[in-house]
Structure 1
Amino acid sequence: MKGLLLELPLTAYEEVHVLQKRLVAERASGRLDRDVVIIVEHPAVYTLGKRGGRENLIVSEAFLAEKGISVVQTERGGNITWHGPGQLVAYPIVHLEKARMGVADFVEFLEGVMVKTLASLGVTARGDEVNRGAWVGAAKIGSVGIRVTEGVSFHGLALNVAPDLTCFSWINPCGLTISITTAEKELGHKVSMEMARVEMKQKFADLFSDGLSEVTLADLGCEW
């Protein structure tokens, strides 16, 4: 069966979060009969996981408010992270039982999507069974954090293609004192976000026996 692909432009995190929860409910109930992969970029925002993360903010929330950056609590696993322009984010709404995947298998698949996307761009990366995500040497280039509700996964992955890393310097990403890198930094030249989207779509298509079919918000019966 084909999966569904919803590509969005730069869109506020909170709006896509609401959309995810709606699609999860519809997938769990059967009203939505296929899995959906959302690919998007967000304006700058910090998100907190189930393990919290405010303690890993190096700057004050008042400082962030002055910068127009919000801090949002979420249901996903993990700690604090940042999303923003130049970072490619994917939210796969997948019924794991029907996909015949366990949570660990699915997280490994998401790491693989990032590693393979990076390879297509010319960057050699790896996953990590202890500190999940995508890594180039000791530097983190992509994050994974999911939540499973009624057997359906949401949240997902965030891959640093070409973001400004300044905002990462204001946190301990994922609760760790680590270096953060990007595809552009590793390659030493500009990387097209459009090319990164194309490559990531191809890697997600491997999850479905008949690939992905592109849809719009209207096709899904959703409006902002």
Structure 2
Amino acid sequence: MSERHARAVWLGRRRYAPIHDLQRQLVEARVEDRIGDVILLLEHAPVITLGRGAEPGNVLFSEEALAAKGVDLVVTGRGGDVTYHGPGQLVGYPILDLKPDRCDVRRYVRSLAEVMILLAREHHVEAGVVDGMIGVWVDRASPGEWAGAPWSRELAKIGAIGVRISRWVTMHGFALNADVDLDAFRLIVPCGIRDHGVSSLLALTGKAPSVRDLALASAPQLSRALDVRVTAVEDLSELDDPTTALLG
């Protein structure tokens, strides 16, 4: 099998709906083999998204109240429950064709977790996965160590995962908390989990890179975790509409 290549692009801060539409267009083009693998990196304007398994009660405010706070509410086709995205959070949407040798959903979800684990490690935070709970977790009491959930004193979530796979082409992806406003997570029950909190690189270490810097430096971690070659992350954040640049 020859080495796989993926194009990674930084899109800056974007509202959710146009990027959701862009993902659908990219998935269709990837299924038809009109483009190669591509990874979208961005941060969203404040939005709450509901996955296919979402419990409406996990959104704690009405759509009108959220709109008054400047927060969009969007129903999506990804897996999972309720998630918040906002400034200070690195969101990654890989559009990858898993055929012929990577047609394993669990393996792919684990690779998304590995992206966030590697990125957190670059900023002196050790993280890991927890059986039965999707996403990436840290021990808030000891952020520089991760021995697993049974040995953690204060388990907290630092990264979320939600995916959709159509004809083995991936959509949606991961979200890593860099310096996101953690109070915004009080608008929801994150991923339906009430027993544990949410944290960020900033909250754990007292400092965090900008999301732009985190994204533009992420090629090595994306390459290693997703088993693709990403030579550099392109900056397309100045484009009002990146569709032509990605589909052309």
Q: Taking structure 1 as the reference length, what is the TM-score of the superposition?
A: 0.92
Aligned Cα root-mean-square deviation (Å)? 1.7
CA contact (8 A) 2:48 2:85 kept: yes
Which letter does structure 2 place at the counterpart of 1:40?
L
For residues 106-154 of structure 1, the C-alpha deviation after alignment (integer angstroms, 9 at most, x for no partner) is 1000001101100001111111231011101210000000000111011
Structure 2 match to 1:204: 222
Task: Give the drift of 1:68.
Answer: 1.8
Task: Give the drift of 1:179.
Answer: 0.3
1:6 is aligned to 2:6: no
Secondary structure of 2:39 counterpart: strand
For residues 141-179 of structure 1, the C-alpha deviation after alignment (integer angstroms, 9 at most, x for no partner) is 000000001110110000000011121012110011120
Structure 1 match to 2:245: 219
| C-alpha distance in structure 1 between counterparts of 2:222 and 2:65, whole Å | 37
Structure 2 match to 1:126: 128
| C-alpha distance in structure 1 between counterparts of 2:113 and 2:23, whole Å | 20
Task: Give the drift of 1:18.
Answer: 0.4
1:157 is aligned to 2:171: no
Structure 2 match to 1:35: 37
Which letter does structure 2 place at the counterpart of 1:18?
D
Secondary structure of 1:153 counterpart: strand
Structure 1 runs not aligned, ≥5 long: none
Identity %: 34
Q: Taking structure 2 as the reference length, what is the TM-score of the superposition?
A: 0.83
1:144 is aligned to 2:161: yes
| C-alpha distance in structure 2 between counterparts of 1:70 and 1:53, whole Å | 17
Structure 2 match to 1:67: 69
Structure 2 match to 1:95: 97
Secondary structure of 2:21 counterpart: helix
Cα gap change, 1:145 to 1:90, in 2 (>3 Å): same
Secondary structure of 1:25 counterpart: helix
CA contact (8 A) 1:2 1:213 kept: no
Task: Give the drift of 1:211.
Answer: 2.8
Structure 2 runs not aligned, ≥5 long: 140-154, 237-241
| C-alpha distance in structure 2 between counterparts of 1:19 and 1:11, whole Å | 11
1:187 is aligned to 2:190: no
CA contact (8 A) 1:76 1:146 kept: yes
CA contact (8 A) 2:16 2:47 kept: yes
Cα gap change, 1:2 to 1:167, in 2 (>3 Å): same
Structure 2 match to 1:166: 183
Task: Give the drift of 1:2.
Answer: 1.8
Instruction: Identify which of 52, 57, 62 aligns with 1:55.
Output: 57
